[in-house]
A and B are shown apart, each in its own frame.
Chain A
Amino acid sequence: MAQRIVIDPVTRIEGHAKITVQLDDGGNVIDARFHVTEFRGFEKFCEGRPLGEMPGITARICGICPVSHLLASAKAGDEILAVEIPPAADKLRRLMNLAQIIQSHALSFFHLSSPDLLFGFDAPPAKRNVFGLIASDPDLARRGIRLRQFGQEIIELLGGKKIHPAWAVPGGVRSPLSEEGRKHIVERLPEAKQTALAALNLFKGLLGKFEAETQLFGNFPSLFMALVAPDGSWEHHGGKLRFVDSSGNIIADQIDASRYREFIGEAVEPSSYLKSPYYRPLGYPQGIYRVGPLARLNVCRRIGTPIADQELAEFKSHGTGAVTSSFLYHYARLIEIIAAIETIERMIDDPDLLSHRLRANAGINRLEGVGVSEAPRGTLLHHYEVDETGTIRKANLIVSTGQNNLAMNRTMSQIARHYIRGTGPVPEGMLNRLEAGIRAFDPCLSCSTHAAGQMPLHVQVLAPDGSVAQEITRG
């Protein structure tokens, strides 16, 4: 009998999801899919809201990376006001984004994924969680908790709240860093750096044990997209978009966010039923691309801080041109924590961080604006259209995790085909490997399903010229 295996819910990820594996009569995997089961509809209910409310509302898309939505939304607002924000405001926004990268990456590594890496994928399910980590290695657990806390505290020092601070606004930010806040950050930086380095060394030490996972967890060629600085360095908030291929060749560069539609198309993958962005010039599905830490390290030439650059060089030796294993998202995440900490070290004495010149005031000077920022999980775009009073007419959000949908589904098939065979019961540890394949991407489904998440009845796959290449109707 053909059989379907369902993992429900996928745990230790942000959001609600299921995984299904479809087997044929002989017990061979036909397909494996990742389903997202939630929907809230931000793009619709933001219509009619004032522009100034958008950072605060869209932050509620996600409690893990509210800062990303806050910043992308504020940047879209800057475009609509047609202002250049004060330099101090830009530096402060950057500081908050770096803090968020630290806290979110620390969460992904220590709280969510380290139990798989430290205890093994076959460890008893009841142990594979942060409380299991607390019980078996309280020192490591505490250090991980404190690293995440460091990022959260910087966010609170700037915005008054750790989660959902109403701080960035169209035109700038509301408040600077205080001198006490600056001192607090300076005091805690060395410990944060030490923990981040220890985590990176721990992971590198474990890599030998995970050769199979490195080969099997989403290891395939694809494009990669992220922001880069004008000189091709690592970026997280400014800069422009770059695409590289799996050999590391730059195939599109210095693309302004306002042109995103020329480069990013959205399709539906019939086997996954989730909206799947693709690189439009290559068409669908050849235009599969990945975003997030792995992509950011693949697209950049250098990071620009000493330890992170050393680590980047070593990281890049795991690929030829680009590192293609999704399992190494974990590795890239840990290098990015160090990059963020070193960047904060370098900027923390800048007097601008204490400045009160923080906000450019202006009216509605454009009726459309696109804001882009690198969220911990990848490039995030907010695109708004407003009327003359600044009321939102239309909002379109391209979120990080959505852009990894194609890659996550391919990862599911790759892992399922390797580990699942035959019609007998599948060991729990094998199913956990499927979930771990998803965890490597650190998906944020609250984000990715701001709009999507239901299965379409009517699917059209379009060729690059816009003609319908394939059409499927169900129901």
Chain B
Amino acid sequence: MDRLRVATVWLGGCAGCHMSFLDLDEWLVDLAAAVDVVYSPIMDIKEYPENVDVVLVEGAIANEDHVELMHRIRANTKVVVAFGDCAVTGNVTALRNPLGDPENVLQRAYKDAADIAPQYPAEKDIVPRLTPRVTPVHELVKVDLFLPGCPPPAPRIKLFLEQLLAGKGERLAGANIKFG
């Protein structure tokens, strides 16, 4: 059997899910022996590749770069996993939603900065516009599997990946489907 081609992606979030992934610690060495990691923020591959078997997506959809990348990911990936609570529900990243237009949030963020009173345009192709609402990944594209937690603890990630590698069908239960 060909080795699984695995990717990790990070959208609007805090990196905590990726840190929890790194908390797999020495099991990462075993994982590296079993799969090919083909794209990740901890690697220098700049374009999301084709023919990815599994992707762990951390973070919610919060700006136009996320939207564009997520469509590309869906098109190029067999199994999309919503990785952590921001991807699954929007979580803390979505706390801006009740405040309405993102311009309100941007205004406040700079308004009280001691010395400046700026506006917030987006330089074309450089600074992406914020989406009107922060959404979980499944509102934008079909998500195949959900791995909750803020962040999902490393043992939960390990169990999930072990199931995936065994090809038995992934099923988390009990304490492993807990948020927070």
Query: Which residues of A approach B to under 8 Å, CB–CB?
Result: 6-9, 11-16, 18, 20, 35, 37-41, 43-45, 47, 57, 60-64, 66, 107, 111-112, 125-126, 128-131, 134-135, 138, 141-142, 145-146, 148-149, 152, 161-164, 261, 265-268, 273, 275, 394, 396, 432, 435, 446, 451-460, 462, 474-475
Chain A neighbourhood of B37, CB < 8 A: 131
> Shortest beta-carbon distance, B9 to chain A, in Å?
11
> Shortest beta-carbon distance, B154 to chain A, in Å?
7
Interface stretch, picked from B72-80, B98-106, B136-144, B168-176, is B98-106
User: Chain B residue with minimal CB distance to A148?
Assistant: B22
> Shortest beta-carbon distance, B158 to chain A, in Å?
13
Cβ of B166 within 8 Å of any chain A Cβ, yes or no, is no
Q: Is the CB of A37 within 8 A of B126?
A: yes
Chain A neighbourhood of B127, CB < 8 A: 35, 37, 273, 453-455
Chain A neighbourhood of B109, CB < 8 A: 39, 41, 43-44, 451-452
Q: Is the CB of A107 within 8 A of B116?
A: no
With A41-B106, A396-B112 as contacts: A63 and B17 at CB distance below 8 Å: yes
For the complex, give the distance between the alpha carbons of A32 and B75 in Å.
Answer: 34
User: Chain A residue with minimal CB distance to B119?
Assistant: A457
Chain A neighbourhood of B62, CB < 8 A: 38-40
Cβ of B177 within 8 Å of any chain A Cβ, yes or no, is no
Chain B neighbourhood of A39, CB < 8 A: 62-63, 102, 105-106, 109, 130
User: Chain A residue with minimal CB distance to B30?
Assistant: A134
Binary per-residue interface labels of chain B (9-22) against chain A in the complex, 1 for a CB within 8 Å, 0 otherwise: 01011111111101
> Shortest beta-carbon distance, A379 to chain B, in Å?
17
Q: Is the CB of A131 within 8 A of B93?
A: no
Binary per-residue interface labels of chain B (62-106) against chain A in the complex, 1 for a CB within 8 Å, 0 otherwise: 110100000000000000000000000001110110110010111
Q: Is the CB of B12 within 8 A of A40?
A: yes
In B47-65, the 8 Å CB interface with A consists of 62-63, 65
> Shortest beta-carbon distance, A221 to chain B, in Å?
23
User: Chain B residue with minimal CB distance to A268?
Assistant: B116
Q: Is the CB of A11 within 8 A of B15?
A: no
> Shortest beta-carbon distance, A395 to chain B, in Å?
10
Q: Is the CB of B44 within 8 A of A129?
A: yes
With A38-B63, A39-B130, A456-B120 as contacts: A163 and B19 at CB distance below 8 Å: yes
Q: Is the CB of B45 within 8 A of A57?
A: no
Q: Is the CB of B18 within 8 A of A45?
A: no
Chain A neighbourhood of B32, CB < 8 A: 131, 134-135
With A63-B14, A134-B28, A275-B110 as contacts: A457 and B116 at CB distance below 8 Å: no
> Shortest beta-carbon distance, B84 to chain A, in Å?
9
For the complex, give the distance between the alpha carbons of A112 and B41 in Å.
Answer: 10
Chain A neighbourhood of B19, CB < 8 A: 63-64, 107, 162-163
* Pairs A–B under 8 Å by Cβ, sample size 25: A8-B46, A11-B46, A35-B123, A38-B12, A39-B63, A41-B95, A43-B109, A45-B96, A60-B92, A63-B151, A64-B16, A111-B22, A126-B45, A131-B43, A138-B29, A164-B150, A273-B123, A275-B110, A446-B13, A446-B14, A454-B120, A456-B118, A456-B119, A457-B119, A459-B116
In B122-155, the 8 Å CB interface with A consists of 122-123, 125-128, 130, 150-151, 153-154
Cβ of B2 within 8 Å of any chain A Cβ, yes or no, is no
Q: Which one of B44, B91, B106 lies within 8 Å of A11 (CB-CB)?
A: B44
Q: Which one of B23, B29, B121 lies within 8 Å of A457 (CB-CB)?
A: B121
Q: Is the CB of B16 within 8 A of A164?
A: yes
For the complex, give the distance between the alpha carbons of A261 and B113 in Å.
Answer: 10
Cβ of B42 within 8 Å of any chain A Cβ, yes or no, is yes
Q: Which one of B28, B115, B125, B154 lies within 8 Å of A462 (CB-CB)?
A: B115
> Shortest beta-carbon distance, A122 to chain B, in Å?
12
> Shortest beta-carbon distance, B179 to chain A, in Å?
12
> Shortest beta-carbon distance, B117 to chain A, in Å?
7
Additional A-B contact list (17), CB under 8 Å, known A261-B114, A454-B127: A12-B44, A37-B63, A40-B62, A43-B109, A63-B17, A134-B32, A142-B26, A145-B25, A162-B19, A163-B20, A265-B114, A275-B110, A446-B15, A451-B113, A454-B130, A455-B121, A458-B119
> Shortest beta-carbon distance, A409 to chain B, in Å?
14
> Shortest beta-carbon distance, A469 to chain B, in Å?
11
With A11-B44, A456-B119 as contacts: A141 and B29 at CB distance below 8 Å: yes
User: Chain A residue with minimal CB distance to B85?
Assistant: A60
